Each structure stands twice: as structure tokens, then as C-alpha cells.
Amino acid sequence: MATYKTDWSSSDFINFGDWNRIESNVLDLATYLQGIQYSVPTPSVVINRTVASIDFLSSINRIENGLGAIQSAFGMTPPNYLSKKTWTIGMGFSFDDVNRLENNTQILKTYGDLIVKSYKYSGALTCGDQGGLY
């Protein structure tokens, strides 16, 4: 089950475990939406970082692009969903950015849950207490 940290502040530090969790949540989101018959791409993720791992702008862009592709294929932009960024040299990454990534993932999962709850199932069910089927 996905866990989201949506209360990052300027006094927080992001570490390899946080990045692994964020990317794992994006992968879980794609798998969940595919499971409810949405044709969303499976993002490329890295979820085996260690304390010795080094991430680059390409890593953050991969996460942004993966989540953006899922949102685009989902076919809707929920309220409060903030658009992705393309990271270049000199851009500063702050707690606002990691909150945006985590919130966007959580928002899409919440909307997926709402869609599942709105499904109308149809069919026939015959029950009785007389035993056999006729």
C-alpha cells in the first residue's frame, strides 16, 4: 500500500529511501490504474537506491515524465493537480517540488479510487433455498 508524505517543509531532508518510496508509489499507481482497465504506461523507475546512490536531473525528470504520462493517459486533470516541471541545470529543487510530486501521485490514486467506487455492476443472480439448479 502506498504511503505519501505530503507535508515536506524547509527543515526536511530528502534521502535515498524517500526517492525509492516516491518512485515505488508512481509504479504502484500505474499498476493500480492498469488493474482497473486504464491504458496507462508503466513508468521506468529506480527503487533500489542506497546511501551511496547519486541522482541527477535526469532522475527527477524521469519521475516527472512518468507521472505526467500516467496523468495524461488517465484522461483527466483533477483539481489541485499541479503540472510537471522539466528540470535543467540551475533550477533549485525545494520541499514545494517534492510536495507537488507526492500530492499529484496521491490525487491520481484518490481519483482512481473514486472511479472504482462509481462502477455499476450488472448481471443476474438467482438464489434460493431449495437446493438444486434447474
Domain positions in the chain are 16-118
Which cell numbers in the block locate residue 8? 515536506
CA separation for the pair 77, 125 (Å, rounded): 37
Average pLDDT over residues 2-7: 92
Tens of pLDDT along 24-77?
999 999 999 999 999 999 999 999 999 999 999 999 999 999 999 999 999 889
Which amino acid would we find at residue 62?
A: R
The phi and psi torsions of 41 (rounded to 5 degrees) equal -70, 150
Q: What per-residue confidence (pLDDT) applies to 134? A: 54
Q: What pLDDT score does 68 carry?
A: 96
- The structure's pTM equals 0.87
CB 40 within 8 A of CB 30: yes
Per-residue confidence (pLDDT) for residue 122, from 0 to 100: 73
Mean pLDDT of all residues in the chain? 92
Q: Report the pLDDT value the prediction gives residue 1, as an integer from 0 to 100.
A: 60
CA distance 45 to 60: 11
